[in-house]
Structure 1
Amino acid sequence: MNSFDVLRDSLYFFKRNLGQIVQLCLPLVIFEALLQQVVDHSTEPDSFPGISVVVGLLIYPLYTAALILFLDARSRGESPRTRDLLAMSATLWPRFALLTALNTLLILLGLSLYFLPGIWLMVTLAFGEYLLVLRGLAPLAAMKESLRLTRGNFLRILVCILCVMGPLWILKGVTLAVYPEPQNPVISLLIDSAHSFLQLFTSVVLFRLFMLISDAPEKIDGPL
């Protein structure tokens, strides 16, 4: 399956299940954006720069793990309850937060080294979250297995990520141009929440890729 087919199938799934995804993830996404806003207004400009990452580590693992569990359940024709998914994601939080911290640290370090190493890490670590949630791997084991699974599929994964994130980056830039800093707190909250929620489509695309690649024999890079 090429990149276009993956994106098309993922978009169809996202639209068909949008109501459930909104109910499952949007409240936590809004809470994360609100918490980030409170922290930004409560800290000095020259304070610890990683505080925003710490805020993300508190909330991001909860709604992302819940979304992955939802994607897995729907792929098997099941309809889990929102509270059950959130309860399961809460039990995964410590390991998921550690994995997110390690991935973020490595990707930021890679981006600081002439950018390309960060892109490579972003792609090769893309399946770590799914391996941790769905296969129960420890963070380091999930990262190692993600490196193995993405081998030979780098270009396909990169194209899918860029096709989703590229328009979102452009949309964020246009939004900031229309509503420049300093923004009204309510508008800022709406923009950040909408941007974070739309990024969840990336998780849907990567889940589709993960299911295809993990079930297929290893091969070298082929057609996109």
Structure 2
Amino acid sequence: MNLLSVLRDSYFFFSHNLLAITRLCLPLIVLEGLLLQQVSTLVAPETATLWRLLAGLLFYPLYSAALILFLDARSNGLQPRALDLLAAGLRLWPSFALLAGLNTLAILLGASLFVLPGIWLMVKLAFAEYLLVLRGLSPLKALHASFDMSSGYFWPMLGCILIVMLPLWLLDGWSQSSEPIASNALASLLMDCTGRFLQLFSSVVLFRLFMLRSSLPNDD
């Protein structure tokens, strides 16, 4: 796998389908941001992170599943309607939410031991969402299959994820530590939604990696 080729192709796809991706995902991202903002103000600071993770499971599975279906359809030359994609995402929501919860729990447990196990699990489980949505695997089978599918491709996958996500993590950390932004509800919401929308590019990159890996022999 050539990192530059993957990133170039992903950027080309993302930029040329930006309007469709915006219409599909941004309204739900804004609703998610509003909900997370309300949760943060209603719960105790020591439990805010847990409640935000749980609240995120309401919207993230819906727009992520719809985006994966959109990526697959556009890769096959189709132009699906946003409402059809969201309806399909809604049908997948129970299993996708369970998968997202298990995925997040595994990564957090790994990160609680040391940072590196959390990063390792994040890479090894990166294909699970695509396996669930596109191949119809159950959450547990998708997690297991992602482990197998990523074998031998850890470093290219890690490189792509870090190149895309590290700047976004730094932006998120800066916005949370910036007092003018943290104390301004509108600015905080804008930064949060911007970061979540830009993270959709990582889904495009991982989809490209998934398709490349699927085309190689012995991927089962």
TM-score, normalisation: structure 1: 0.93
Could you tell me how far apart the structure 2 residues matched to 1:177 and 1:126 are?
28
- Are 2:125 and 2:146, in contact at CA under 8 Å, matched by a contact in 1? yes
Structure 1 unaligned blocks of 5 or more = 220-224
Could you tell me how far apart the structure 2 residues matched to 1:79 and 1:55 are?
31
2:191 maps to 191
Opposite residue 6 of structure 1, the aligned amino acid is: V
Opposite residue 115 of structure 1, the aligned amino acid is: V
SS of match in other structure, 2:217:
coil
Mapped pair 1:202 → 2:202: yes
Structure 2 unaligned blocks of 5 or more = none
Paired residues, number: 219
TM-score, normalisation: structure 2: 0.95
Name segments (4+ residues, structure 1) moved above 6 Å: none
- Are 2:176 and 2:182, in contact at CA under 8 Å, matched by a contact in 1? no
Opposite residue 29 of structure 1, the aligned amino acid is: I
Distance 1:48 1:31, change over 3 A: closer
SS of match in other structure, 1:188:
helix
2:122 maps to 122
Alignment of 1:135-214 (within 5 A): 135-176=135-176, 180=180, 182-214=182-214
Could you tell me how far apart the structure 2 residues matched to 1:112 and 1:63 are?
28
What is the CA distance between 1:170 and its match in structure 2?
2.6
Bigger relative contact order, structure 1 or 2 (CA pairs below 8 A, ≥6 apart) = 1
- Are 2:165 and 2:202, in contact at CA under 8 Å, matched by a contact in 1? yes
Could you tell me how far apart the structure 1 residues matched to 2:63 and 2:52 are?
17
- Are 2:175 and 2:188, in contact at CA under 8 Å, matched by a contact in 1? no
1:5 maps to 5
- Are 1:128 and 1:143, in contact at CA under 8 Å, matched by a contact in 2? yes
Distance 1:114 1:201, change over 3 A: same
Could you tell me how far apart the structure 1 residues matched to 2:211 and 2:125 are?
15
Deviations 1:120-140 (A, max 9, x none): 100000000000000000000
Opposite residue 193 of structure 1, the aligned amino acid is: C
Q: CA RMSD in A?
A: 1.5
Distance 1:19 1:7, change over 3 A: same
